[in-house]
Structure 1
């Protein structure tokens, strides 16, 4: 592998905290970072290196999308402005029953990956069906993907019951063992769609196979009311009694938490995937993120699916997370810019168990990097690049993206994906889904 030197205006490594390097170079050899040092020192130490000048750019770790349903990009705008259960029961689940297949998931995941890469996301924690198709889409693009294998009790076009979902999850995991860009988690959908017995089996398998668990928890007040009616306790208490919180767990949403529950989440080391835009769009509520972070909980940021957001834009999510925390807490110091950036990078890596590989720019880590051009009028003048990345920059200012040292996006052009083919397949699915709606109406 040839050595590459990147020469940005600023390097924001995330670790050490509150650090911005100027006149520095980042040096890559193959898939790893081998040096972060003064520009002149790097040029002298590696005279044969390939040099990339980034004169008005901030270089930072790739963003980690901690909760998404990638293939659902093909349902973007399909059913808007509805509460969660109506959205699911009357629109999303019926459409998925008609159309979700290996081909649908591959094509939808490719569309999502193209959007995420162009927006500076280099890693995603997914949750959906047809797991092998998600893995193939990620590997084809050179994208880092954690594949959450959805598990439910009821039948879908993908599986007939919980045992079938689990069996297919394990088969896909075995198929891709050894792939460095692809990892798997067990993803029970939610407390209201998974039984105690199935949760028990998931906990056992996670322990035996050293797998994490990814689950929607406390997303809405209806979910909590339903649990109180059926089980006599709130969902988190039920899951704690079952032992789920003793496994490595990423809890998506966690919008509604009491002080007691926040203390329990802290004690158990549960990670939270905060999805501010989706929570607002579905009117799920305002998560107590400032309190959760203050209690020591690791909170990352996710987009949720494009069907409920409607975009996979981590720059927008960072800004919204910071602003909502200030408004919800009444504290303008809640989630300052540096912390929002940590949530979108380092905290996601911690939640995925990949702190040693991604989430910060450190020697020895994978070279998952993004360059953001801050020369635009909307990000000038620039007194503080960290502040601008969170409060002013747009995802369209991402110019270059490297994943494991490979340039997957160069000067705003995809290097590993064929956008024409992706756009053609997207139009095919749009026509097919619209035809399905028309035939159902008849």
Structure 2
């Protein structure tokens, strides 16, 4: 028999690839941080001798969720300003709070809070855009979660950088520091077409092309964004980015709620990756992404929560359920985004969007073992006819019992193993008092 690090015995293994497959009474074999095999449980005992056995026979075991758009440090602004349109929310509340408080310690504590929340909800990888990406990378690595860290760029000065040259220099330093890391990768992260000028977008595109790095940007988020672009340039933002050479498989376009048919066709033609953030878009009344039309055109659609300041959670199970339901309503078609495709968007679709599809996103032998277990034996899961449907339409993040990243058990039967939950909450409450102006 072959000795391996660990075996997870599951009630059902949902590998995501191939789409819609659900394997009852199967086991996932992990060795050296990678998936060694997925096979029937009654065969696993005769072929493998594991150092550790995890009995999760009342659980569904599946790839971890890929949260394809976050602002992790902003977890400390959760609930600060609700029920407002995007630009009012940004200009009058979020940006002033960041100007007063955003710094390395703020980002560290906010990211720890975000990572703890994500691990508890089954997220094994997140794609971030925020200030102090060096702190985000270090904090994520210490916790053991996989992260794609955005090298933020905005035309105006912030606590992170004083101007374009410093944004680029500091960003490249982050890239160089983490370029060989097993868990941390980087993207360029210009905030949006309305906060980054065309010369700077061209400059970033040139450097991104040289380094073969993706570009992560908010795009076509609101109708107001489109109208401002038309008034200022005579072009819609996607047309401007196309003219600048940014449309392509390396562009991670977030939100995309305002799309015309010709734009969908061009996105599909150029291979742009789309990240759908349904709950944030709903809460800010930004618009509704045409997910069914994008999928029909062959566009890869991933899911993201956005930041907790606008969502207000980082719950990917909740996000994929909302995505599935919303797509049906927008398309007026109950089959617009079936459960299996919604689950794929939250896992393999996200991995593909981030350039990690060959490493994570499905339980495929040879891929890294980013795996989660979800309890399926409770009142909320009974009766159980179709596990994938049950996951998407009836399961909550409180049912996630275990999270592994590269085979490392970061959330073990309801307990975080690399983060101090009580300390994280204590520090979050301390930041609440500072931001609210309460005496310590």
Q: Could you state the TM-score of these two structures normalised by the residue count of structure 1?
A: 0.97
Structure 1: stretches of 5+ with no match in the other structure: none
Pick from 38, 50, 53 the counterpart of residue 51 of structure 1: 53
What corresponds to 1:146 in structure 2?
Answer: 148
Pick from 385, 392, 395 the counterpart of residue 393 of structure 1: 395
The answer as to 2:261 corresponding to 1:259 is yes
SS in 1 for 2:395: coil
The answer as to 2:131 corresponding to 1:129 is yes
Per-residue CA distance 1:368-398 (angstroms, 9 max, x = gap)? 0000001111111100000011000000000
What corresponds to 1:339 in structure 2?
Answer: 341
CA distance in 1, matches of 2:164, 2:274: 25
What corresponds to 2:424 in structure 1?
Answer: 422
SS in 1 for 2:95: helix
Deviation of 1:9 after TM superposition, in Å, equals: 0.3
What corresponds to 1:288 in structure 2?
Answer: 290
The answer as to 2:374 corresponding to 1:372 is yes
SS in 1 for 2:106: helix
CA distance in 2, matches of 1:272, 1:12: 24
The answer as to 2:100 corresponding to 1:94 is no
Q: Is the 8 A contact 2:75 2:307 kept in 1?
A: yes
Pick from 384, 390, 415 the counterpart of residue 386 of structure 2: 384
What corresponds to 1:359 in structure 2?
Answer: 361
Q: Is the 8 A contact 1:203 1:247 kept in 2?
A: no
Deviation of 1:247 after TM superposition, in Å, equals: 6.0
Moved more, 222-231 or 31-40: 31-40
SS in 2 for 1:81: coil
Pick from 271, 276, 280 the counterpart of residue 278 of structure 2: 276
CA RMSD, 1 decimal: 1.2
What corresponds to 2:73 in structure 1?
Answer: 71
Per-residue CA distance 1:85-123 (angstroms, 9 max, x = gap)? 011011101110010001110110010000000000000
The answer as to 2:189 corresponding to 1:158 is no
Per-residue CA distance 1:301-341 (angstroms, 9 max, x = gap)? 00000000000000111010010110011101110100000
User: How many corresponding residue pairs?
Assistant: 437
CA distance in 2, matches of 1:49, 1:156: 50
What corresponds to 2:241 in structure 1?
Answer: 239
Q: Is the 8 A contact 2:19 2:341 kept in 1?
A: no
Q: Is the 8 A contact 1:300 1:344 kept in 2?
A: yes
Q: Could you state the TM-score of these two structures normalised by the residue count of structure 2?
A: 0.98
CA distance in 2, matches of 1:49, 1:86: 55
SS in 1 for 2:6: strand
What corresponds to 2:414 in structure 1?
Answer: 412
CA distance in 1, matches of 2:62, 2:354: 19
CA distance in 2, matches of 1:383, 1:330: 25
Deviation of 1:129 after TM superposition, in Å, equals: 0.8
CA distance in 1, matches of 2:370, 2:248: 30
Per-residue CA distance 1:275-316 (angstroms, 9 max, x = gap)? 000000000011111101110000000000000000000011
CA distance in 2, matches of 1:246, 1:322: 26
What corresponds to 2:171 in structure 1?
Answer: 169
CA distance in 2, matches of 1:290, 1:94: 37
Q: Is the 8 A contact 2:72 2:307 kept in 1?
A: yes
CA distance in 2, matches of 1:369, 1:47: 20
Deviation of 1:179 after TM superposition, in Å, equals: 1.0
Structure 2: stretches of 5+ with no match in the other structure: none
What corresponds to 2:25 in structure 1?
Answer: 23
The answer as to 2:40 corresponding to 1:38 is yes
Per-residue CA distance 1:121-164 (angstroms, 9 max, x = gap)? 00001100101100111011100000012101011122111221
